[in-house]
Each structure stands twice: as structure tokens, then as C-alpha cells.
Structure 1
Amino acid sequence: MTNEMQVQITGCKLYAKLVGENNGKPTIVLDAGYGDYSKAWDSVIEDLSMLSKVLIYDRAGLGKSATSSNPRTSREMVKELKELLIEAKIKPPYILVGHSFGGVNLRMFATEYQNEVCGLVLVDSTPEDYRERFLPTMSEDFQQAYNKQFIYEGNYDEFMKSLQQLKDAKRKLNVPLMVLSAGKKAHYSKESQALWNDMQREILEISTDGELVIAENSAHYIQNDEPEVVVSAVKKLIDRV
């Protein structure tokens, strides 16, 4: 069963799609990376919808969603997602799955609404100290390309503000957590790859109950390179509910 909708929230309409049957299990909510929209999950949506109902959506200004005049920071995006869930009558509990910058948003969501979340899967999620600790270890070319990419939704400053919001909001979560780290990142030296995996491992500290999985054959889009790694992480959390 697939149900597409345009949901009116404060300031704009957001496109959302519900896929799968209502089997009494928590709804799986997917949030894509920076500048990406719901299509980023095409490789796993069918398998995930066998486990439970799945909600994919486009953040404001991306895909089929209208633009919003609100700042493009994590805190605002979390408010918009919360409003979308209320307006679309998608009740908690949720299992949250965030890729890259979407992981920043869903960590914030889990912090703000901890009692509505029964599992969190972070798919090669951006660590909050990325700029200070990781970026300086990369080549000048990489750093320049990284800094120039912020043209699709939030600008560079808004993205960095989002990472700061995540730092400021950080507290221990009583939510089962799966951290998936891409083990074969493009353009990463052996040292950079090792640091990346270490920083992903450190994200486990936000939860009382976390597990790291290194997707050895995946670049940044684990859901495309090894979709089964993402699906099995979600299944693991659903089975525990």
C-alpha cells in the first residue's frame, strides 16, 4: 500500500509518502542527507516496507516539497518533521533512520522527543565535530569541494550551526542505537578512513544501548552499496520492540 500526500505545515507544504502495511509495529521514518530527498531511499524502501509502515518525505525546498522561509537548520527541520507527523496523523512510536545530515536531524529529534522513539539507525551520519576534527585531515581539494557544496538547502553557516545545535542538545538517550559506518569511503586515505570509523564509534556514546556496524564494501551511500546492512539494522530494532 502506498499513500502519497502533500501535508500543510506552518509556512509550507511538505511532500510525504507512506509505504507498507500497518502491522502494529512502529513506523519507520527516513530522513535523507544534505540536498537529498526521498528518492535517496529507493534501494531499501521495498524491503523496509515488509517490516513495517515506512514514511519518506522531502524536506522543505527539496524534491516535491515547497520552500520554507524558516532557517535551514536542524532545529527547524526537526520542528517541521514533528509537525508533518502530527498533521499526517502518524502516531509514535517511531524507528528513525537518518543518512548523513539526516542523521544529525534525527539525533536531534530523538533528543527532543525521546519518549516517541524506540530505535535510531544512523547511516554514515555526520559527526558533530566533523569540521574541527575530520575536515583538516583531508586534502585542500577535498576541503574546498566540501565547502562549496552548500547550495541546495541550508548554506555553509546553517549547516555548521546545525552541528553546533547537535552539540548543545547532546544528552544520553535511552533509545537503542545502530551506527552504520561506511568502510570504503571515496578519496579517503587509510588514516582518514580509520579516523572516520573511530568518530562513528564515538557516536555510540549518546545511547545507553548502541552497536556499531562497519559496512566494509560501502562508500557514503550505504543504502545503495549494501542495502542489506541498512535493512538488517532496522529489522534488529523492530524485533526488539
Structure 2
Amino acid sequence: MGEPDVAANFFAKPQHLVKVNRRRRMNIWRSGQGSPTVVLAPGFMAVTADWARVQPALARTAQVVSYDHAGQGFSDPGPLPRSPARTAADLKAALVRDGIEPPYVLVGLSMGSFEVRHFAHQYPGEVVGMVLVDPSFDDMAKRLLKVTPSDQVWIESQFTHLKRCELAAKAGDLRPGTDAYAACVFQPQPDLTEALNKTYHDMSLQASYWRSLASEFSFAARDKADWPLADMPLIVLSAGDRERPPRPPEEVEAIQRVYADAHEQLAALSSRGARRVVPNSKHAIQWDRPQAVIDAVREVIAAVCGGPA
């Protein structure tokens, strides 16, 4: 089988549904062989397709797992709140049920930084390495609001938008031609297949999808997961050309310094931690510069195994 393209129908159906308990299933994409297993944790609104440019390459030399959070992609909705601790517990349950044994190298995309660090704390001894891809960081909202107080309005509006979409979906108001439909429902993209466009469209019609996102977003602004990682091999990748918000130049520079300082602090959680700036990459490094993610994961595996990945 060839490597799946993000535009292909491979992502228009579940890759593999695994029970996390008697009532719920998680969709996972499992490929490759070997140990340690690489686990790709999604960022906000991300699904397995978001790793299409990374997972196939890694799977040539390692077993790799990506997955959809509860209520997103093809995973069944889960109970609230959708905290990083709870999503980490869901991941653990899926790995156990599917017979995917430790050790694990965890890769956290954006908000996935919280989840993988919670996982390492909840299941000590199972995680042997970590890569954080332009990660969210502890007290993120508080630290950013110090340099851009006006962002409080943006944070509140984002949460309000997610809740409005949830309520509109629950009431059956996401109908073509309405303002709610235009604001909430995924619009077809010309570079995706008809089946994949329909998949994303149908997902965005579900109240459970928006409920999950709203709960996850509420934690991202205030979560803390600053447990030390001892001497675990750790690489933090920072976007070299992160999207610049419409702010005065001095505020934009202040935001960049907050990210740089926070990412240095994350790298310092391990005595073997390192931060790398990825040139010509915006926040979604796994899209813009997938090879940087692939290389970082392989470097961590090599450090774990004591030889080339």
C-alpha cells in the first residue's frame, strides 16, 4: 500500500476503532513496526490526517500511532471535561486494548504538549523520549495577556464561538444559508476529495464535536504540566516564522519572546532537553517542515536506543 496523501479517501473513514471502555471507541492510525513506539498526540482541532506528512516516513523504521480525540474525527464522544489528564487516560486505554506496549516516544503537537506531559506523569516509566512541536505552555493565557492584555477579548470570543456552534448544532440550526452554518460548518476545499470534504462537513455538524473543542480550549489557556522529565531525551521545536497577530510591532515582538522563553523552559524540564528553531515554518511545523519533525523524532529514538534510528 502506498503512503496516504492528506487529500485521499484514506482519511474519509476510520483507520482502526479501538474500545477504550464498554461504551466508547477511539480511532487510531497504527503503522510500522518496532520499539519504542512513537505516539503522535494531536493539537487543537487536529485529527489523524494532520500527521499525513510525518507518520508514513517514521513508520519505515518504527511503530507509529496517531489518533482522534473523543468527539473528533471518528472517535466516539467522551464525558466532560476534556482535560489533558482525561485525554491521556483515553490514550492509555486505547494502547492497552490494542496491545501496544511501552516504551513510548511521545510527540505533542501544540496543545498536545499538555497531554503528553500528563501521560508521562500519570504513567511513569513508560515514556522514554519526547518531542514537542511548537508547543503550548503552562499558564499560556496568563503569560501572553501580560504583554497583550487586549487578547482577553480574543480568548473569550473564541470560547464563545465554540459554545455557539455547539448550541446551534444541538438545536439543529446548522442549515445551509444560515449565519450559523457559514460560521461553524466546514466548507469544501478544492484540494480534498468529495468523500473527505463530506467527512469534515459532517463532523462539524455534530454538537459533540464542538462540545469537545470548547472543553479542550478552556484547559489550554490555564493548564500546568511542569513536572520534571529527569534525563529523558527531549526536543522542543519552535516555529521560526510563527503567524504574527495584527498587533503593534512591539507587542508582536513581546509575544515572540514569551514563546521563546516558554519553549526554553520546556526544554529545561530534562537535563537532556534541547530547543530547536525551525526556519521558514509557521505554527503547523508538521505541515510546513515535516522533515524537521521526522528528524527530531529519529534523533530522540537514537538517543533512547544508543544508536542510529
Using the size of structure 1 for normalisation, the TM-score is 0.89
Matches within 5 A, 1:1-241: 4-10=15-21, 11-20=23-32, 22=33, 24-138=34-148, 140=150, 143-150=152-159, 151=162, 152=210, 153-155=212-214, 159-161=217-219, 164=222, 166-167=224-225, 170-174=226-230, 175-188=232-245, 189-240=252-303, 241=305
Cα offsets for 1:198-238 (capped at 9, x unmatched): 21111122222201001121111011111111011001011
- Asked whether the 8 Å contact 1:51–1:235 carries over to 2, the reply is no
Shift of the 162–223 alpha-carbon distance from structure 1 to 2, 3 Å rule, reads closer
Matches of 2:116 and 2:233 in 1, distance apart? Answer: 13
Shift of the 155–124 alpha-carbon distance from structure 1 to 2, 3 Å rule, reads same
Cα offsets for 1:117-139 (capped at 9, x unmatched): 11100001111121111144237
Any gaps of 5 or more consecutive residues in structure 1?
Answer: none
Shift of the 163–102 alpha-carbon distance from structure 1 to 2, 3 Å rule, reads same
Provide the identity percentage: 32
Shift of the 161–225 alpha-carbon distance from structure 1 to 2, 3 Å rule, reads closer
How far has the Cα of 1:196 moved from its partner? 1.1
CA RMSD of aligned residues (A): 2.2
Shift of the 165–185 alpha-carbon distance from structure 1 to 2, 3 Å rule, reads closer
In structure 1, the residue corresponding to 2:79 is in which secondary structure? coil
Shift of the 163–137 alpha-carbon distance from structure 1 to 2, 3 Å rule, reads closer
How far has the Cα of 1:96 moved from its partner? 0.4
How far has the Cα of 1:64 moved from its partner? 0.9
Matches of 2:271 and 2:155 in 1, distance apart? Answer: 33
Matches of 1:48 and 1:159 in 2, distance apart? Answer: 29
Any gaps of 5 or more consecutive residues in structure 2?
Answer: 4-13, 163-209, 246-251
How far has the Cα of 1:164 moved from its partner? 4.9
Kindly tell me the number of residue pairs found equivalent between the two proteins: 235
- Asked whether the 8 Å contact 1:33–1:100 carries over to 2, the reply is yes
Matches of 2:288 and 2:19 in 1, distance apart? Answer: 34
In structure 1, the residue corresponding to 2:229 is in which secondary structure? coil
Matches of 1:28 and 1:9 in 2, distance apart? Answer: 19
Matches of 2:243 and 2:62 in 1, distance apart? Answer: 33
Greater CA drift, 226-235 or 202-211: 202-211
Matches of 1:161 and 1:129 in 2, distance apart? Answer: 10
How far has the Cα of 1:69 moved from its partner? 2.1
Q: What is the identity, as a one-letter code, of the residue corresponding to 2:214?
A: N
In structure 2, the residue corresponding to 1:134 is in which secondary structure? helix
Matches of 2:53 and 2:223 in 1, distance apart? Answer: 30
Higher strand share: 1
Q: What is the identity, as a one-letter code, of the residue corresponding to 2:256?
A: Q
In structure 1, the residue corresponding to 2:236 is in which secondary structure? strand
How far has the Cα of 1:67 moved from its partner? 0.7
Greater CA drift, 69-78 or 84-93: 69-78
- Asked whether the 8 Å contact 1:108–1:166 carries over to 2, the reply is no
Matches of 2:98 and 2:73 in 1, distance apart? Answer: 18
Matches of 2:261 and 2:24 in 1, distance apart? Answer: 39
How far has the Cα of 1:165 moved from its partner? 5.0
Using the size of structure 2 for normalisation, the TM-score is 0.70
- Asked whether the 8 Å contact 1:177–1:209 carries over to 2, the reply is yes
| Structure 1 residue aligned with 2:9 | none
Structure with the greater alpha carbon radius of gyration = 2
